[in-house]
Amino acid sequence: MKAKIVPIIPILTLLIMVAVSCEDTTYRVYTGNSPVYMSYADLREAVALEQNVPLKNPGKIYFKDNYIFIVEELKGIHVFDNANPSSPVKKAFVKLPGVVDISISGYIMYADSFVDLVVLDVQDVNNIHESGRVKNILPYTVPPTDNELPMGHVDEEEGVVITWEVKKIRERVDQQPDPYPIFWDRLAFAEMKNASGASSGVSGSGVGVGGSMARFGIKDNVLYVLDQNTLKVFDITAKTSPVKHNDIYPGWGVETMFLTDKTMFLGTTTGMIIYDISIPLTPTSRTFFTHARSCDPVIVDDTLAYITLRTGTNCTGTQNVLSVVNVKNINSPKPVQTYSMVNPHGLGKDGDLLFICDGSAGLKIYDASDPKTITDHLIYTYANIDTYDVIPIGDVLVLIGDDGLYQYDYSNIQSIKLLSSLLIAP
């Protein structure tokens, strides 16, 4: 399975220097990845509604008012009317360069766009448009390369890097690339006519639901954005005009966020951080639960936290496990049990049912009523899907994998049914 886009620890880029005649102390020439830029002006005029854009590289998923939003890695957002999960209707594609994560409050969507936080009005899915923007609030990042060649010098003044071009590069030595560049790990992950009975639109109330890989979260009138080693807190009382309230520094390697009524759980490369958000604008750190180094999403159901750790990522993990932690006393989390997995990614829970995306081993559904014997109670395995993340919503499981989106009816756990699939374009 291809790796998904999540902020990661910067990696040292080694460049091979080649002497060039008499200029060998000033210039170097090498074959590498040369950045292709989009100007900041063009970035901020890029939001557009498009049709007939195929699903090619799906990433984060989000659900709100019978609509499914699928992030197309760094390109934009697919919008599907899911009033009938057996036949989702493609409504539009929102072109939004640099997008990775989204969250919705009422009918206002918040999304990243390279260095900017963008506000979109999605009330009428046939007329989604930009309604606000906070510029230069997120760190400068560049996309991954698809080869082992070195990256050329990036000039942030030129704009954002949208892709790379392999060619011979000639650079001044004093313009060598930042030895600790910030970049994103790669994402791995049928147009239909409108149908009768479609949803009327996105409502002005409530907050949507994201998967376990989410880095955006909303609590009341506060938007939280995870940004590498920073938790950014925005006041969204005026929904189209977010105001940054504070930056909190939980530590390096923070990857995922899960919110409950009064608590925030952050998954990091070395453990789970718990914050008290009873006062949403001022999260207060409560405790840190340490685990082996690994990339890890976390979800919480009542007094139990479920954490997956996996190898094969830039988090340099060495374990593929599911860990269950008792968080009844958030000041003193207690390990309950750890289970071996193949390569677990996202997960979700509904009642006693635990859904785990076990990478190339597919989707696994467990009866988790006894947290100490979970793997003894495997209900179903769908091994033919390379899975990434899930959202269980009202007896319908929305699953994103390498080859597209799947939906299952699990209202009868003894007879789980595939409702529909939206596969990536060839």
Domain positions in the chain? 1-195
Task: List CB contacts of 331: < 8 A, sequence separation 6 or more.
Answer: 286, 287
Please give the residue that has the higher pLDDT: either 264 or 176. 264
pLDDT attached to residue 50: 94
- Cβ count near 14 (within 10 Å): 7
Whole-angstrom Cα distance, residue 202 to residue 103? 13
pLDDT at 41 over 90: yes
The C-alpha torsion from 121 through 122 and 125 to 129, rounded to 10°, is 30
Mean predicted confidence (pLDDT) in 82-95: 96
Mark out the alpha helices in 104-254 (DSSP H runs): none
Instruction: Classify residue 406 by burial, with Cβ atoms within 10 Å: 0-12, 13-18, 19+.
Output: buried
C-alpha dihedral sign at 110, 113, 117, 119: negative
Contact (CB, 8 A) for 218 and 105: yes
Radius of gyration of the CA atoms of the chain, in A: 22
pLDDT at 342 over 80: yes
Contact (CB, 8 A) for 173 and 27: yes
pLDDT attached to residue 274: 94
pLDDT at 246 over 70: yes
Q: How would you classify the pairing of strands 160-172 and 209-210?
A: unpaired
Looking at residue 390, its amino acid is V
pLDDT at 11 over 50: no
Spell 191-200 as b/e; 16+ CB within 10 A means b.
eeeeeeebbe
Percent of the residues in the chain that have a pLDDT greater than 90, as a whole number: 68
- Cβ count near 213 (within 10 Å): 26
pLDDT attached to residue 55: 94
Q: Give 269's pLDDT tier (boundaries 50, 70, 90).
A: confident
pLDDT attached to residue 15: 39
Q: Give 26's pLDDT tier (boundaries 50, 70, 90).
A: confident
Residue 385's SS3 state is coil
C-alpha dihedral sign at 4, 138, 9, 177: positive
Q: What is the pTM of this model?
A: 0.87
Long-range CB pairs of 329-335, under 8 A, 24+ apart, other chains included: 330/263, 330/274, 330/276, 330/286, 330/287, 331/286, 331/287, 332/287, 333/272, 333/274, 333/287, 333/289, 333/305
Mean predicted confidence (pLDDT) in 204-215: 89
Mean predicted confidence (pLDDT) in 218-232: 93
Distances (CA, A) of 178 to 15, 182, 195, 196, 364: 11, 9, 52, 54, 42
Looking at residue 334, its amino acid is K
Concatenating the DSSP letter of every residue in 51-119 gives: SSPPP-SEEEEEEETTEEEEEETTTEEEEEE-SSTTS-EEEEEEE-TT---EEEETTEEEEEETTEEEE
Mean predicted confidence (pLDDT) in 171-197: 45
Mean predicted confidence (pLDDT) in 15-32: 60
Please give the residue that has the higher pLDDT: either 314 or 97. 97
Task: List CB contacts of 344: < 8 A, sequence separation 6 or more.
Answer: 308, 309, 310, 320, 321, 322, 356, 357, 358, 359
> Does an H or E element contain 43, and which?
helix 40-43
- Cβ count near 263 (within 10 Å): 18
pLDDT attached to residue 12: 36
Residue 176's SS3 state is coil
* Range name among 234-243, 288-297, 377-386 with the lowest pLDDT average: 288-297
Mean predicted confidence (pLDDT) in 213-234: 94
For all residues of the chain together, what is the average pLDDT?
86
C-alpha dihedral sign at 102, 108, 112, 113: positive
